[in-house]
Amino acid sequence: MYNQNQLEYLLKNENLIETETVEKIKAYIANLEKWNNAINLTSKNFDYFTHIRDSLMFFELFKSPKGKLLDIGSGNGFPVIILAIVCPKLEITMVESSTKKCAFLRDTISKLSLNANVLNKNIMDIQPKNNFDFATIRGLKCSYEMEIKLNFILADNYGKLFVWAYPPPSLKRFTLLHSVCKNNKYLHLYIKAQAAPQPI
């Protein structure tokens, strides 16, 4: 579980002081706990506060984002539900291969009125369109095949990739711009190295 005072202090440090933001995060956790009883979305001793804090590391690298964001392997909603709550200007697409987890994500989006949608697919099945401004990966390895796919999915020249991992992945098609570390957790910001060639 989490301590509400800790949560409010954390959000205050990120200048996220709106009552609606706090209430939506609490509602998300409540819905996660409800669904968790049925489909095991988290471990028994899951630390909600730590995962919220890790999700908010996004603000260390990018303030007040707007545009289209693709989250890969959205699972139980960290970090993407937190980002959808605190970054309402983002138009978010969640990609998740588990049908049950997709049902949870859609239910949460509906209850919290978030600007997001869910695709029940594997990232490798997404058609490349070069139209996402951001992509986020947490808890998954950024494989060579995934890197190629992301190269075509993210917008040319300025598409940004955020990866929670240690050490930072060595990506050939992306340039590492910056990394941050908090509480032994690492977040890395990449940008497409150059305009992507058109897929054959």
Q: Residues annotated as binding site for S-adenosyl-L-methionine?
A: 73, 78, 96-98, 138
Cβ distance 98 to 77 under 8 Å? no
* Cis ω before 128 (30° cut-off from 0): no
Euclidean distance between CA atoms 74 and 136, whole angstroms: 9
Euclidean distance between CA atoms 118 and 44, whole angstroms: 26
Residue ranges of E strands in the chain: 67-72, 90-95, 116-119, 134-138, 160-164, 174-182, 185-192
User: Binding site residues, as ranges?
Assistant: 73, 78, 96-98, 138
